[in-house]
């Protein structure tokens, strides 16, 4: 997928049995890359990076669920053998720390044994900016699916890594003990929709959508 930057490419690599959309964004000239939500299948990701001759600057995590962060540790170990500099591991909001540290337990409930707890170099705060690959990603804290869930928005290129906040025709699950559907819907309406209808959402699962399409037809946003 081409993004609205010269020399940039975005590829979605589905990982784990949950087919989570792990995103690899890179600059074709510098071969520097950012990975969003390295949920698992680190061998698949490492093969992709090797094939495309990419060096990972950072791994960004939207939230702490197993299928979004369970592959971080293995990926970082693999990258130790292929690049000199360790990538920055940037977490969601600190309110998801308990999830990042319970991935092994989460995986056990699904009969999975190849996912690991995730350590981050730092957590993010609402409104801050991250600068990688010459891009600026604004952090938008949108809780409800998880307490610390964030969305990474590139307003210049007009796309956002949405994690499990917003999908085509629906929103993220909120039937967890820590979930809150009202909070999630309010966050989408107040923090994401004002960004503009043309913003492309790269969700954690399924196909891409836009804020305009969801504003117009998503039943959860018509309330």
Q: Contact 110/103 with Cβ under 8 angstroms?
A: no
Query: Which positions of the chain have pLDDT values less than 70?
Result: 1-2
pLDDT at 223: 73
pLDDT at 6: 78
16-29 tens-digit pLDDT: 999 999 999 999 99
Q: Cα separation of 194 and 112, whole Å?
A: 39
Q: Cα separation of 175 and 172, whole Å?
A: 9
CB atoms within 10 A of CB 186: 14
pLDDT at 172: 97
pTM recorded for the entire structure:
0.96
pLDDT at 2: 59
């Amino acid at each position: 997928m081409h993004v609205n930057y010269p020399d940039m490419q975005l590829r979605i690599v589905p990982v784990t049995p949950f087919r989570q959309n792990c995103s690899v964004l890179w600059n074709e000239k510098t071969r520097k890359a950012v990975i969003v939500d390295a949920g698992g299948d680190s061998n698949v990701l490492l093969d992709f990076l090797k094939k495309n001759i990419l060096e990972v600057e950072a791994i960004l995590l939207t939230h702490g669920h197993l299928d979004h962060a369970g592959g971080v540790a293995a990926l970082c170990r693999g990258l130790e053998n292929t690049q000199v500099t360790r990538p920055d591991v940037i977490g969601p909001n600190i309110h998801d720390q308990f999830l990042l540290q319970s991935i092994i337990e989460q995986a056990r409930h699904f009969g999975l044994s190849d996912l690991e707890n995730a350590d981050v170099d730092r957590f993010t705060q609402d409104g801050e900016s991250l600068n990688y690959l010459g891009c600026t990603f604004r952090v938008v804290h949108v809780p409800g699916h998880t307490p610390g869930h964030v969305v990474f928005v590139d307003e210049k290129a007009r796309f956002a890594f949405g994690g499990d906040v917003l999908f085509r025709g629906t929103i993220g699950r909120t039937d967890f003990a820590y979930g809150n559907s009202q909070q999630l819907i309010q966050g989408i309406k107040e923090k994401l929709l004002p960004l503009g209808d043309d913003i492309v959402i790269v969700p954690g699962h399924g196909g891409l959508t836009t804020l305009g399409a969801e504003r117009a037809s998503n039943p959860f946003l018509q309330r």
